[in-house]
Amino acid sequence: MLCSCALLARLSELLSTESAEESQNSFFFEVLQAHCLQRGKPYVITPPQWGVLALLSHHERQTIGMLAQQLKVDGPGRHEHRQTA
């Protein structure tokens, strides 16, 4: 498990070797992983999963389309069903 000193050291290391966005993503994942492990969870929440859970906790009754818009990802599409002969 990583303490706050170890997390800060890891962040410093990431910032010196990766782009800022990659560093933030790696650091955030490591924080989430440490959080789950410290609590004995059998899973690790990923940053994208955390983002969706955070939106759901603040805005109830959202559609998938609304979530997609807030996350700036493609929403559900309409699929044409073709009948085959």
Domain residues of the chain, as ranges? Answer: 4-71
pLDDT at 13 over 50: yes
Give per-residue pLDDT as tens, 23-77.
677 888 888 899 899 999 999 888 888 888 888 888 878 888 888 888 888 888 7
pLDDT at 3: 53
- What is the pTM assigned to this prediction? 0.55
pLDDT at 84 over 70: no
DSSP labels, the chain: ---HHHHHHHHHHHHHHS-HHHHHHHHHHHHHHHHHHHTT-SS---HHHHHHHHHHHHSSS--HHHHHHHHTS--PPP-PPPPP-
